[in-house]
Amino acid sequence: MPVRVLIVDDSATMRGLIAATLCRDPAISVVGEAADPLEARQAIKTLDPDVVTLDVEMPNMNGLEFLARIMRLRPTRVIMVSTMTERGASTTIKALEIGAFDCVAKPSAKDPRSFDELPAKIKAIAASPINRQEPLRQESHRQESHRQELHRQELHRQDPTSAGAARREPQTASSRYSPDGRLVAIGSSTGGVEALLTILSQFPENCPPTIVTQHMPPVFTASFAARLDRLCKPHVAEAVDGAPILPGRVYLAPGGAAHLEVVKHVGGYRCRLTNTEAVNGHRPSVDVLFNSVAQSAGRNALGVILTGMGRDGAQGLLAMRKIGAETIGQDEASSLVYGMPKAAFEIGGVGKQLTLQRIAAHILTSTNQ
Catalytic residues: 189, 215, 312
Cβ-count burial of 268 within 10 angstroms (0-12 exposed, 13-18 middle, 19+ buried)? middle
Rounded CA separation 200/360 (Å) = 7
Q: Enumerate residues 6+ apart whose C-beta is below 8 A from 16.
A: none
Report the run of H or E that residue 302 belongs to, with start and end. strand 301-305
Rounded CA separation 127/216 (Å) = 21
Rounded CA separation 227/214 (Å) = 14
Nearest to 33 by CA among 52, 60, 50: 52
Nearest to 292 by CA among 255, 264, 265, 252: 264
Q: How far is CA 100 from CA 53, 90, 201, 226, in A?
A: 10, 14, 20, 19
Q: Angle of helix 63-73 relative to helix 135-158, nearest 10 degrees? A: 110
